[in-house]
Amino acid sequence: MPERSARAAVLAGGETRLPPGRHGLPREAVAENQRERLLNGVVEAVAEHGYNATTIAAIAKAAKISRRTFYEHFEGKADCFGAAYAMIEAHVLESMLAAPGAGEEWPERVRARLAALLEVLSRDEAVARCFLVEPLSAGGEVAARYREAMGHVAAALRPEPPPTGLNMEIRDQALIGGIATLIVRRLNTAGAARLPELLPDLTELALAPFLSRAEAKQQALQSQMPSS
């Protein structure tokens, strides 16, 4: 798991890759680097062109790798994008669950985990778009993986234990729909860097079904206060 987390962080953070060509590395290291470059490449290409318009040639160009090398690692575009999405999902969820400042009280955990979600997505607009915008265009297994990932995000924001008498599946769908809509709208109008500004709104949205309106509003307002 630590190795997977490290690779996911490289992908999500868009860190510098090794240059192409001869570099004296073991064959296994070269293959791993090629794969990571392709994962970064598919994220860049899909964010720029959209999933449906992205070609293998565009992915290979973004990765600075030949088409022949692409097919040594992946069967096609869906396979490559699915692998990239799995790593982004892992990094997002791990960041939420390990969020600093998540105290014992449920509202504190919600606020901290939403802050972690927004922070991760704010670092790289391409990653944010590939996580929330493009999977439904991909369809098939990638779209199914998106729905599964959103279920995990919703589960990370639930009260523990969930209250009785409330349909949590409907609540989760409504919550994730609201979160995704607000994030994508902010991406389109202001860019990824301003996503953390959504924290008060998302906090209130997540808490409102379980707290009084006044208490949910108060918890959301605390999201605007600088942490001590």
Can you give the pLDDT at residue 136?
A: 87
Nearest to 186 by CA among 172, 174, 173, 200: 200
Whole-number Å distance between alpha carbons of 59 and 89: 20
Domain boundaries, the chain: 2-80, 88-222
Can you give the pLDDT at residue 104?
A: 74
Can you give the pLDDT at residue 31?
A: 83
Which value, to the nearest 10 degrees, does the dihedral of the CA atoms of residues 43, 5, 124, 46 take?
A: 10
Average pLDDT of 191-210?
91
CATH number of the 88-222 domain: 1.10.357
CA angle 65, 71, 72 (to 5 degrees): 85
Q: Are 91 and 43 spatial neighbours (Cβ–Cβ below 8 Å)?
A: no
Average pLDDT of 168-180?
90
DSSP state of 162: P
CATH architecture of 2-80: Orthogonal Bundle (1.10)
pLDDT in tens, 93-136: 999 999 987 667 888 899 999 999 999 999 999 999 999 999 98
pLDDT in tens, 126-140: 999 999 999 988 888
Dihedrals φ, ψ of 22, to 5°? -80, 130
Can you give the pLDDT at residue 42?
A: 96
Can you give the pLDDT at residue 18?
A: 41
Whether the per-residue pLDDT at 13 is higher than 80: the answer is no
Instruction: Evaluate the CA torsion angle 166, 170, 175, 176 in order and state its sign.
Output: positive
Average pLDDT of 57-73?
95
Q: Are 162 and 182 spatial neighbours (Cβ–Cβ below 8 Å)?
A: no
At a CB cut-off of 8 Å and minimum separation 6, what does 137 contact?
50, 51, 52
Element (H, E) at 63: helix 56-63
Q: What global pTM score does this model have?
A: 0.82
Whether the per-residue pLDDT at 54 is higher than 90: the answer is yes
Nearest to 227 by CA among 74, 66, 116: 116
Q: Are 106 and 160 spatial neighbours (Cβ–Cβ below 8 Å)?
A: yes
Give the pLDDT band (50/70/90) at residue 198. Answer: very high
| Terminal-to-terminal C-alpha distance of the chain | 32
Whole-number Å distance between alpha carbons of 36 and 41: 8
Whether the per-residue pLDDT at 228 is higher than 70: the answer is no
Give the pLDDT band (50/70/90) at residue 19. Answer: very low
More reliable by pLDDT, 212 or 34: 34
3-state SS assignment for residue 103: coil
Q: Are 133 and 184 spatial neighbours (Cβ–Cβ below 8 Å)?
A: yes
